Amino acid sequence: MNKFFYSRVAVFFVVLCMFAANMPLAKATDATPQTSDEFFAVGNNFFKAHQYKNALNAYNNSIKMRPDNAAAYLMRGAAYQNNGENDEAIADYSKAIELNQGEYLAYYRRADIYKQLQKADLAQADQDEFNKRFAAVAKPLDAREFYDRAIYFEDRAFFDDAIELYTQSIKLDPQLNKDSASLSAYEKRGDLYLLQDKHKESLEDFSLAADVQPNRLELYNKRGDILNEYFSNINDVYDGGFRYYSTVITRAADLKEKPEVLSHAYQNRGAIYKDKGEYEKAIADLNKAIELAPKKPTPYYFRGDAYLELNDWKNAEADLTRTLEFVPQSADVLNERAIVYINTTEWDKALADLDQAIKLDAKNAFAYNNRGVVFRNTEDWKNAIVNYTRAIELDPKLAEAYDNRAFAYRKLGKTTEAAADENKVKELELSK
């Protein structure tokens, strides 16, 4: 019987140290928030990741725990605004002003909504009030004041203003927070550059931050993440990321680093080993990552992927199932587990996972191709062709879908169509 070709997600997932939403397995934090301020910080992380519904939940908890938290009302208003819920946003901005008239950015954001609603008089009144209150705020005089003002703007999602203020702080004192637990201005600015997809600038700032705070190992993780995620065209990218993660692992014991920082390094070094085909080393690192942070889904996913490469179907299924306990709505993980079931000839389980993956992500070409493989192995050639065709529509360069469809066409005696698909496979291989 002709070999079938299933499709997998070719990814190197990394969980960026601050912005967890870069991957579908992400969580804004692994620790459970306990205070109003902690929920506020979690909400801000979700807001930066454009996960506004999750941000709203966090801000709701922040306000519930401290009803006079004007900043939480302001940011909940911003989340409502970005979600298109203008009435709720206006109500929250008004509440923020009622609680603290010093929250002058609430006037600015409310004016923006009034402009959209073509309420010119209200918009102008709020703009005037903002201008008046902003002008009354004393101009920062030293590096610390610029830094504190930058945090204020960052916490209220005025990121360009925050970057400029961090820059002013750096100009006055690049060594600010050198001997402090607070982050350096370089690192704070680097985080915001990363948020804006300015990866080169972010990498440079994290390196400068490491000069200021050489024992802050999270900066090594952040640089490794950027190299692996955004500069994959560089020949030594893996060596660069590998070096940074290994530095964390080597130095963590002496510095008594937090478990989540060390887990992150093991997790992503393990992913590098996996992508290099060194699966046993990958599994060893991922075991350590899970031991240090057993409630993080990503290491289970990576380890399941490594087991899948080793044809260890039992362990692959266990890890992918564990991943789905954390993220049941991940089409990619369902697709991976379906591949396990395809290889163990558990067609009903494979079909169930692929049906759910497609329900969650109707543009997942890999899932359609793999569903075609299931139909092929149950000799349902017509449904197999339907699914291969949909996979090709979604990804015209998916060679395995053409190859699989050619086989199905030949089974139905459609030799002309089969030959066309086989030629397309050759064309795609030559174009690589």
- Residue 386: is its pLDDT beyond 70? yes
What is the distance between the alpha carbons of residues 190 and 225, in angstroms, rounded to a whole number?
Answer: 13
pLDDT, residue 16, reads 27
Residue 426: CB atoms within 10 A of its CB come to 11
Could you say which of 109, 137, 165 is where a domain stops?
Answer: 137
pLDDT, residue 19, reads 25
* Mean pLDDT in residue range 70-96: 96
Q: What is the CATH number of the domain that holds 390?
A: 1.25.40.10
What is the distance between the alpha carbons of residues 139 and 149, in angstroms, rounded to a whole number?
Answer: 9
Who has greater pLDDT, 7 or 10? Answer: 7
Structure tokens at 411: 């089974």
pLDDT, residue 5, reads 63
- Residue 238: is its pLDDT beyond 70? no
Non-local CB neighbours of 158 within 8 Å, separated by 6+ positions: 105
pLDDT, residue 11, reads 39
pLDDT, residue 108, reads 94
pLDDT, residue 109, reads 95
pLDDT, residue 233, reads 55
Domain range for 25 is: 13-137
Taking only the tens place, the pLDDT of each residue in 165-176 is 999 999 999 999
Residue 1: CB atoms within 10 A of its CB come to 6
- Residue 75: is its pLDDT beyond 80? yes
Does residue 304 contact residue 320 with C-beta atoms inside 8 Å? yes
| Distances, alpha carbon 217 to alpha carbons 24, 179, 222, 287, 378, in Å | 25, 15, 9, 21, 52
**Whole-number percent of the chain with pLDDT over 90:** 81
Could you say which of 137, 169, 192 is where a domain stops?
Answer: 137
Picking from 16-25, 74-83, 245-254, which range would have the lowest pLDDT averaged per residue?
Answer: 16-25
pLDDT, residue 33, reads 80
The letter for the amino acid at 176 is L
pLDDT, residue 256, reads 77
Q: What is the mean pLDDT of the chain?
A: 90
* Mean pLDDT in residue range 141-146: 93
Who has greater pLDDT, 7 or 423? Answer: 423
Residue 162 lies in a domain: no
Who has greater pLDDT, 381 or 252? Answer: 381
Q: Look up the pTM and report it.
A: 0.82
Who has greater pLDDT, 109 or 2? Answer: 109
Taking only the tens place, the pLDDT of each residue in 284-337 is 999 999 999 999 999 999 999 999 999 999 999 999 999 999 999 999 999 999
Structure tokens at 148: 């504190």
Alpha helices per DSSP H over 196-258: 199-212, 218-230, 237-255
Residue 329 lies in a domain: no
Residue 333 lies in a domain: no
* Domain count for the chain: 2
* Mean pLDDT in residue range 77-95: 96
* Mean pLDDT in residue range 44-66: 93
Non-local CB neighbours of 340 within 8 Å, separated by 6+ positions: 308, 313, 316, 317, 320
The letter for the amino acid at 344 is T
Residue 185 lies in a domain: no
* Mean pLDDT in residue range 138-156: 92
pLDDT, residue 10, reads 46
Q: How confident is the model at residue 23 (pLDDT cuts 50, 70, 90)?
A: very low
Residue 239 lies in a domain: no
What is the distance between the alpha carbons of residues 397 and 419, in angstroms, rounded to a whole number?
Answer: 17
Could you say which of 87, 109, 137 is where a domain stops?
Answer: 137
Residue 424 lies in a domain: yes
pLDDT, residue 13, reads 35
DSSP string, 108-165: HHHHHHHHHTT-HHHHHHHHHHHHHHHHHSPPP-SHHHHHHHHHHHHHTT-HHHHHHH
Who has greater pLDDT, 239 or 215? Answer: 215
Residue 18 lies in a domain: yes
- Residue 38: is its pLDDT beyond 80? yes
Please state the length of the chain.
Answer: 432
- Residue 239: is its pLDDT beyond 80? no
What is the distance between the alpha carbons of residues 93 and 108, in angstroms, rounded to a whole number?
Answer: 9
pLDDT, residue 409, reads 97
Structure tokens at 19: 């912005």
The single-letter DSSP state of residue 4 is: P
Residue 22 lies in a domain: yes
The single residue listed with the structure tokens 């996979």 is 391
